[in-house]
């Protein structure tokens, strides 16, 4: 089980007043979502978790090792990053080479690489277009490819920045299934998102950021059971809650339509 | 027969130059002017291409093999593009590349469109303030467009498209980077715009069903269905792989129908449906 | 309050260089450059360097200018060393370090060249640091240049920051995906090679999108309202005529110097 621990972490940009301060945050659950309004500090926290940007004070420990001390190769094996905009993370001539490039950073055996590439392309359903240039792909395909490049390395921790953006419905389902699968295989999956419906349906734990501070840590149902807090941090409850409270006057917590159905078919 | 009061697309097909496969195949669709039309479909469905044709980007700026006919009321993007463009606002998928790059401030960026339309300076002042208020950019007016977040950039792109009060608004996935409040406010705001035909591509099926008068559903370049959201969602086929709104999922599971096998797709319909059930 | 013209709030913060219009600044840069080519005494060159440096220091120093200047200083040092050692007219030794002798002629030659480079860099830096793309665009349009041409000129200026922005974004991601340490210059150069093509494609894509939307936004419509210049400028026309005439004289003078050598 991987544990990520942030101790007294702070970061501020030289050019703005914004400051991120996290006294204590421990992430041990397999599926963690980080949420918050625009400008709450999500992207800053994300960049710190990638290990590519260091906090000015405090440290980030991964299984008790300081993230800043990892060698580049160890960092790759530890943290896989899926950025929001896939078009700026693809730079090889074909889909196949794109995945192979990532693998070649830590693996030198060509046969192993070839086998692994074929395997992950099948997982994300891109086998048929493996010879295409990544630039000719549609947005969802690019995103799936960028996920494949990380899957190939098989890191302990997966970081996703807004994974649902620019995906269509079938690819959203595919990515969600993949993330759940990774979590079941004891990887830690962390996602930044502003999609409350997806969050409510998918994650077991959420950390809420507002004004650069953690305002809530816990299960989605616990967060959405506190409407004042949800409002104060600038979030909205899942859509099903607004529908049910609007139409039926029922203001209890429901995470998905299926959740409502389950709770009401029992009696 | 051309009708001046509606949008009509007639047997439209299109293939990009340097490409052998058609992106749109024999599309025919109609909708009344001044309505909101949601265009839905998965990737490779041809949504963006359809928007480009409606806005006249194809064939005026991008080449390819275009056949068929498009009428937006009295105008056509193929025959009277300058006149049509005068009355059209367009928001691209990538809001950042829509900006002129010649403006130091958000206010200047919005004013750019008004200057192009020859609007007088006093009027520009008024219109920029107004549109910034509508899209909650008032606090950003003096800031550089480069300093905005993704969601704010999308709102700026929308502001530049609507500030000239176009009769036709074409929006290609305009809310993808907005946070939930921003998105909800934006969709609510679309419903209060008057005398404007809005064509909007979006993956937000819940929001579309709340506000759209009609949905056009594209699958692999073909228009497989068109009608009210109620009709289109209730007639979905599983192999089209389109998500359904939560109201519909809920109503279906609870068997709250509006009569013969027809389930509500938005909050108002759900309310009506439950009201009817209680009164009978 | 006028929300677009920020004159009301910013009048106190307006600097002297805001009263000089962009074209005058460019002509001034050209004028200083021509002066340095026409008159070669080293003291004169040095005073020109100091004058243009003062201009630069009195304006807003941007990080980009500092970077450009430091890069030039690096080039200049290399040039001084090479010319001091190997200039073809080297005769008089200046000083010796161990067995290596520096010569006066090469040193002077390199110093003159360096002075010219510095003058150009400082003067252009002054222009770049004190104007914005939008101020230039507005001014050019207001003095009668067709907007289409203004836009073309400006988009050439705009493409460099755009490339830089894309480059840093792609490089960050490349660093995230790879183990290349990118510490030495060689490693940095090698890390840029694979991402050049996506960089060009992305920038090209953005340029096409921009030109499409500008047409949609009607930037070349005949009824376009002429932009008003951002600031009221001091004697703009007069400065243009004066500087243009002097520059033409200097060019004529330089040409005559060259031609008279063959007579």
Helices B121-134 and B106-116 cross at an angle (nearest 10°) of 130
Bridge partners of residue A7, in order along the sequence: A24, A59
pLDDT value for C85: 84
Residues 6 or more apart whose Cβ sits within 8 Å of residue C262: none
Say whether residue B54 is in contact with chain C using an 8 A CB cutoff.
no
Does the pLDDT value for residue B87 go beyond 70? Answer: yes
pLDDT value for C1: 44
Does the pLDDT value for residue B62 go beyond 70? Answer: yes
pLDDT value for C192: 75
Residues B155 and B26 in one domain: no
Contact B149 A39 (CB under 8 A): yes
Query: Is residue C89 a contact partner of residue C105, using CB atoms and an 8 Å limit?
Result: yes
pLDDT value for B2: 53
Domain contains B263: no
- What is the C-alpha separation between B267 and C54, in angstroms, rounded? 68
Contact B128 C3 (CB under 8 A): yes
Residue A161, phi-psi category: left (phi > 0), alpha (psi -120 to 50), beta (remainder): beta
From the DSSP assignment, how many helices (H) and strands (E) are in chain A? 11, 10
pLDDT value for A123: 94
More confident of the two residues A113 and C58: A113
Lowest mean pLDDT among A23-37, A132-146, A240-254: A23-37
Residues 6 or more apart whose Cβ sits within 8 Å of residue A51: A60, A67, A68, A70, A75, A78, A79
Contact B112 C132 (CB under 8 A): no
Buried b (16+ CB within 10 A) or exposed e, A25-64: bebebbbbbbbbbbbbbbbbbbbbbbbeebbeebbbbbee
- What is the C-alpha separation between C165 and C161, in angstroms, rounded? 6
Which of C220, C148, C213 shows the shortest CA–CA distance to B57? C213
Residues 6 or more apart whose Cβ sits within 8 Å of residue B220: B44, B45, B46
Chain A residue nearest residue B273, CA to CA: A247
Dihedral of the alpha carbons of C230, C236, C237, C242, in degrees to the nearest 10: -150
Sign (positive or negative) of CA dihedral A211, A215, A220, A226: negative
Domain contains B159: yes
Domain contains B194: yes
C56-99: per-residue pLDDT in tens?
888 877 777 787 788 888 888 888 888 888 888 888 888 888 78
Query: Is residue A260 a contact partner of residue A228, using CB atoms and an 8 Å limit?
Result: no
Say whether residue A261 is in contact with chain B using an 8 A CB cutoff.
yes
Q: Taking residues B73-81, what's their average pLDDT? A: 88
Query: Is residue C213 a contact partner of residue B90, using CB atoms and an 8 Å limit?
Result: yes
List chain A domain ranges: 4-87+155-236, 237-267
Strands A205-210 and A31-35, by their bridges, are: parallel
pLDDT value for C12: 43
Residues B13 and B74 in one domain: yes
Which of A134, C214, A176, A153 shows the shortest CA–CA distance to B116? C214
Contact B274 A248 (CB under 8 A): yes
Residue C151 to residues B109, B114, C209, C217: CA-CA distances in angstroms?
14, 17, 15, 13
Domain that holds residue B119: 100-165
**Nearest CB to A91; choose among C175, C179, C194:** C194
Contact B249 A257 (CB under 8 A): yes
**Nearest CB to B160; choose among C215, C217, C227:** C217
Lowest mean pLDDT among A75-89, B18-32, C34-48, C136-150: C136-150
Residues B23 and B49 in one domain: yes
Instruction: Residue window 38-57, chain B: list those with CB within 8 Å of chain A.
Output: 41-44
Say whether residue A133 is in contact with chain B using an 8 A CB cutoff.
no
pLDDT band, residue A172 (cuts 50/70/90): very high
For the residues of B66-101, what is the DSSP string, one character each?
A: EEEEEEETTB-TTTSHHHHHHTEEEE-SSGGGGS-S
Residues B61 and B156 in one domain: no
pLDDT value for C13: 62
pLDDT value for A64: 86
B112-149: per-residue pLDDT in tens?
889 888 888 888 889 999 999 988 899 889 888 888 88
B254 CB neighbours in chain A (<8 A) are 260-261, 264
> 3-state DSSP call for residue B172?
strand
> CB atoms < 10 A from the CB of A142, how many?
23
Domains: count for chain B? 2
Query: Is residue B37 a contact partner of residue B29, using CB atoms and an 8 Å limit?
Result: no
Which of B162, B180, B7, B177 shows the shortest CA–CA distance to B87? B162
More confident of the two residues A80 and C4: A80
Query: Is residue C93 a contact partner of residue C102, using CB atoms and an 8 Å limit?
Result: yes
Say whether residue C177 is in contact with chain A using an 8 A CB cutoff.
yes
Which of B182, B211, B184, B183 shows the shortest CA–CA distance to B199? B211
Residue B185 to residues A31, A197, A199, B36: CA-CA distances in angstroms?
30, 17, 20, 16
Say whether residue C175 is in contact with chain A using an 8 A CB cutoff.
yes
- What is the C-alpha separation between C159 and C135, in angstroms, rounded? 17
Query: Is residue C46 a contact partner of residue C155, using CB atoms and an 8 Å limit?
Result: no
**Nearest CB to C214; choose among B100, B111, B141:** B100
The DSSP symbol for A93 reads: S
Residues B45 and B176 in one domain: yes
Contact B118 C225 (CB under 8 A): yes
pLDDT band, residue A96 (cuts 50/70/90): very high
B205-244: per-residue pLDDT in tens?
999 999 999 999 999 999 999 999 999 999 999 999 999 9
Where does chain A show beta strands of DSSP type E? Answer: 4-12, 19-27, 31-35, 57-62, 65-66, 79-82, 157-161, 188-192, 205-210, 213-218
Which CATH homologous superfamily contains domain A4-87+155-236?
Answer: P-loop containing nucleotide triphosphate hydrolases (3.40.50.300)
Does the pLDDT value for residue A267 go beyond 60? Answer: no
Residues B152 and B178 in one domain: no
Strands B222-227 and A31-35, by their bridges, are: unpaired
Nearest CA-CA distance, residue C10 and chain A, Å: 21
Say whether residue A260 is in contact with chain B using an 8 A CB cutoff.
yes
Nearest CA-CA distance, residue B97 and chain C, Å: 5
Structure tokens at B236: 């979905």
- What is the C-alpha separation between C235 and B234, in angstroms, rounded? 71
Nearest CA-CA distance, residue C161 and chain B, Å: 11
B158-189: per-residue pLDDT in tens?
999 999 999 999 999 998 888 888 888 889 88
Which of C169, C52, C219, A110 shows the shortest CA–CA distance to B164? C219
pLDDT value for A99: 94
Residues B127 and B189 in one domain: no
- Predicted ipTM beyond 0.95: no
Which of A223, A185, A231, A230 shows the shortest CA–CA distance to A204? A223
Structure tokens at A50: 């990638």
pLDDT value for C6: 47
Chain A residue nearest residue C201, CA to CA: A135
Domain contains B250: no
Domain contains B238: no
Residue B22: CATH number of its domain? 3.40.50.300
Residues B40 and B161 in one domain: no
More confident of the two residues B190 and B217: B217
Helix (H) or strand (E) holding C38: helix C22-38
Helices B121-134 and B150-162 cross at an angle (nearest 10°) of 140
Domain contains B132: yes
Residues B186 and B211 in one domain: yes
Q: What are phi and psi of C159, to 5 degrees?
A: -70, -30
Which of B92, B185, B210, B191 shows the shortest CA–CA distance to B135? B185
Query: Is residue B145 a contact partner of residue B109, using CB atoms and an 8 Å limit?
Result: yes
From the DSSP assignment, how many helices (H) and strands (E) are in chain B? 11, 9
Lowest mean pLDDT among B44-48, B54-58, B102-106: B102-106
Per-residue pLDDT of chain C (263 residues; tens, 9 = 90+): 455 554 434 444 677 777 888 888 889 989 998 888 888 788 888 899 999 999 888 887 777 778 778 888 888 888 888 888 888 888 888 888 878 888 888 888 888 888 888 898 888 888 887 887 778 888 888 888 887 788 777 777 667 777 887 888 888 888 888 766 666 777 777 777 777 877 888 888 888 888 888 888 888 777 787 777 767 788 888 888 888 998 899 899 888 888 888 87
Q: Alpha carbon A264 to chain centroid distance? A: 32
**Nearest CB to A246; choose among B41, B179, B267:** B267
């Amino acid at each position: 089980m991987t544990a990520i621990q942030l101790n007294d972490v702070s970061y501020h940009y030289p050019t703005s007043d914004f400051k991120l301060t996290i006294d204590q945050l421990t992430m041990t659950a397999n599926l963690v979502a980080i949420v918050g309004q625009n400008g709450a500090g999500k992207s800053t926290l994300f960049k710190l978790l990638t290990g590519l940007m260091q906090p000015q004070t405090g440290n980030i420990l991964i299984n008790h090792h300081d993230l800043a001390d990892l060698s580049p190769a160890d960092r790759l094996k530890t943290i896989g990053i899926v950025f929001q905009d896939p078009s700026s993370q693809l730079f090889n001539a074909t889909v196949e080479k794109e995945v192979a490039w990532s693998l070649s950073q830590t693996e030198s055996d060509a046969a192993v690489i070839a086998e692994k590439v074929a395997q992950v392309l099948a997982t994300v359903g891109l086998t048929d277009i493996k010879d295409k240039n990544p630039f000719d792909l549609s947005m969802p395909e690019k995103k799936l490819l960028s996920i494949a490049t990380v899957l190939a390395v098989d890191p302990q921790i997966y970081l996703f920045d807004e994974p649902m953006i620019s995906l269509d419905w079938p690819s959203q389902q595919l990515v969600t299934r993949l993330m759940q699968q990774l979590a079941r295989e004891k990887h830690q999956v962390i996602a930044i998102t502003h999609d409350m419906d997806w969050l409510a349906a998918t994650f077991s734990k959420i950390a809420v950021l507002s004004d650069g501070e953690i305002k809530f840590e816990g299960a989605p149902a616990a967060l959405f059971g506190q409407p004042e807090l949800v409002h104060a941090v600038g979030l909205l409850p899942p859509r099903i809650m607004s529908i049910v409270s609007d139409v039926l006057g029922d203001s209890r917590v429901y995470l998905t339509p299926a959740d409502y159905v389950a709770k009401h078919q029992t009696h | 027969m051309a009708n001046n009061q509606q949008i009509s697309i007639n047997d439209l097909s299109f293939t990009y130059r340097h490409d052998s496969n058609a992106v749109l195949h024999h599309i025919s669709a109609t909708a009344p002017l001044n309505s909101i039309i949601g265009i839905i479909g998965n990737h490779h469905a041809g949504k963006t291409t359809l928007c480009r044709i409606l806005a006249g980007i194809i064939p005026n700026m991008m080449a390819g093999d275009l056949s068929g006919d498009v009428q937006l009321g009295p105008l056509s993007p193929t025959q009277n593009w300058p006149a049509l463009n005068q009355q059209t606002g367009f928001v691209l998928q990538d809001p950042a590349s829509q900006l002129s790059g010649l403006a130091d401030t958000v206010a200047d960026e919005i004013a750019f469109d008004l200057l192009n339309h020859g609007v007088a300076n006093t009027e520009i002042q008024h219109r920029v303030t107004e549109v910034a208020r509508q899209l909650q950019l008032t606090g950003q007016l003096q800031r550089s467009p480069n300093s905005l977040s993704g969601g704010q950039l999308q709102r700026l792109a929308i502001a530049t498209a609507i500030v000239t009060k176009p009769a036709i608004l074409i929006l290609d996935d305009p809310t993808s980077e907005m946070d939930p409040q921003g998105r909800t406010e934006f969709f609510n705001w679309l419903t209060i715009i008057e005398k404007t035909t809005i064509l909007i591509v979006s993956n937000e099926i819940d929001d579309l069903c709340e506000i759209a008068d009609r949905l056009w559903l594209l699958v692999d370049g073909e228009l497989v269905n068109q009608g009210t959201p109620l009709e289109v969602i209730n007639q979905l086929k599983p192999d089209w792989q389109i998500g359904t709104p939560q109201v519909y999922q809920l109503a279906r599971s609870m068997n709250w129908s509006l009569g013969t096998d027809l389930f509500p797709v938005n909050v108002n319909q759900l309310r009506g449906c439950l009201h009817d059930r209680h009164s009978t | 309050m006028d929300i677009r013209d920020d004159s009301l709030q910013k009048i106190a913060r307006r600097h002297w260089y805001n009263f000089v219009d962009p074209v005058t600044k460019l002509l001034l840069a050209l004028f200083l450059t021509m002066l340095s080519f026409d008159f070669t005494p080293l003291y004169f060159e040095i005073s020109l360097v100091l004058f243009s440096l003062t201009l630069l220091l009195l304006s807003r120093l941007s990080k980009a200018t500092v970077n450009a200047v430091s890069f030039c200083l690096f080039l200049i040092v290399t040039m001084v060393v090479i010319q001091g050692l190997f200039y073809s007219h080297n005769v008089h030794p200046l000083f010796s370090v161990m067995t290596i002798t520096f010569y006066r002629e090469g040193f002077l030659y390199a110093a003159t060249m360096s002075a010219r480079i510095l003058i150009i860099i400082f003067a252009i830096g002054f222009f770049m640091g004190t104007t914005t793309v939008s101020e230039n665009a507005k001014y050019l349009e207001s003095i009668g240049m067709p907007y289409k041409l203004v836009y073309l000129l400006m988009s050439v200026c705009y493409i460099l920051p755009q490339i830089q922005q894309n480059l840093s974004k792609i490089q960050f991601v490349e660093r995230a995906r790879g183990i290349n340490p990118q510490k030495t210059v060689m490693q940095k150069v090698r890390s840029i090679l694979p991402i050049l093509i996506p960089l060009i494609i992305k920038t090209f894509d953005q340029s096409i999108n921009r030109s499409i939307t500008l047409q949609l936004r009607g930037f070349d419509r005949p009824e376009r309202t002429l932009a008003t210049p951002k600031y009221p400028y001091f004697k703009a026309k007069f400065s243009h005529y004066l500087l243009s005439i002097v520059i033409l004289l200097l060019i004529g003078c330089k040409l005559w110097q060259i031609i008279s050598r063959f007579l």
